[in-house]
Structure 1
Amino acid sequence: MNSKILILLGLTALAAAEGGEFYGYGHAHSYESSEAKYDFDWAVEDDYSNEFGHQESRDGDHTQGSYYNHLPDGRLQKVTYYVDGDSGYLAEVEYEGEAHYPSYESSSHESSSESHEAHSYTPPQRRYHS
């Protein structure tokens, strides 16, 4: 019985080594395709989460586009980019507005009788039942 399994595994390995035809891959065929050409644009405007969008167009090896996003600090980030052949991804990043951060020094904390020290976490005691 073990020899049948070894022979079957050997035939499987041999078939896999024969160009992958055993798994249905066959030989690679090259297909000519036309140059890529597309245009798209989308945006989201949602009072609950954020506003962001993206625009891109491509014609052959030349791609250009931009996207924007409202950052949590209140600024608008805009990225404009292009790719021309093998030149790589070249981007220019701009920010509009001024960053605003929440104040941790508020009058409600100052008038509170609670300590400003950080509360530490104490894990629960382990209990073993016999």
Structure 2
Amino acid sequence: MFSKIVIACALVALCQAGFLHYHEAPIHYSAPDHFTPSQSYEAPAIHDEPAHEDHYVDEYAYPKYGYSYSVEDPHTGDHKSQHEERDGDVVKGEYSFLQPDGSFRKVTYTADHHSGFNAVVHNSPPVIHNH
């Protein structure tokens, strides 16, 4: 019964409320001040600048690096690793990962000017789970 009285009072208050009238914000315009440039002219000052010499610097650094990383996450099942070395134009490396079927894939690669890019893929047999 109490909730019916509250609803009835709310409806009466809603009916008694008037519409909110919307008034646009007043717009004021003013003319901008115009700039008139001066009519005088001065010759630009001449400064003696030192002669610029072009220096060509060959910043070729001998490419040599090595890096490796590995991930062993039993929670997500993410198991992977990579190792790579470069000495000049010869690159050698390998990467490996655990595939969804439980098999392990390892890729060994080399790259140079003589042979190009060569990769050898090794796969272990998939893991069979007996239930």
What are the superposed Cα offsets for residues 47-84 of structure 1, whole Å, 9 maximum, x if unpaired? 02211010000000000000000000110000000001
Letter in 1 for 2:107: V
Partner of 1:12: none
Q: Distance in 1 between matches of 2:125 and 2:68?
A: 24
Q: Offset of 1:96 from its aligned partner?
A: 1.3
Map of 1:26-65 to 2, 5 A cutoff?
A: 31-49=58-76, 50-65=78-93
Q: Distance in 1 between matches of 2:84 and 2:61?
A: 19
Q: Offset of 1:100 from its aligned partner?
A: 4.5
Letter in 2 for 1:61: D
Q: Offset of 1:33 from its aligned partner?
A: 0.8
Gaps of 5+ in 1: 1-28, 102-130
Larger Rg: 2
Question: Aligned-pair RMSD on alpha carbons?
Answer: 2.4
Gaps of 5+ in 2: 1-55
Q: Tell me the matched-pair count.
A: 74
TM-score (norm 2): 0.50
The SS at the match of 2:62 is coil
Q: Is the aligned partner of 1:82 residue 2:85?
A: no
Larger helix fraction of residues:
1
Partner of 2:99: 71
Percent identity of equivalent pairs: 34
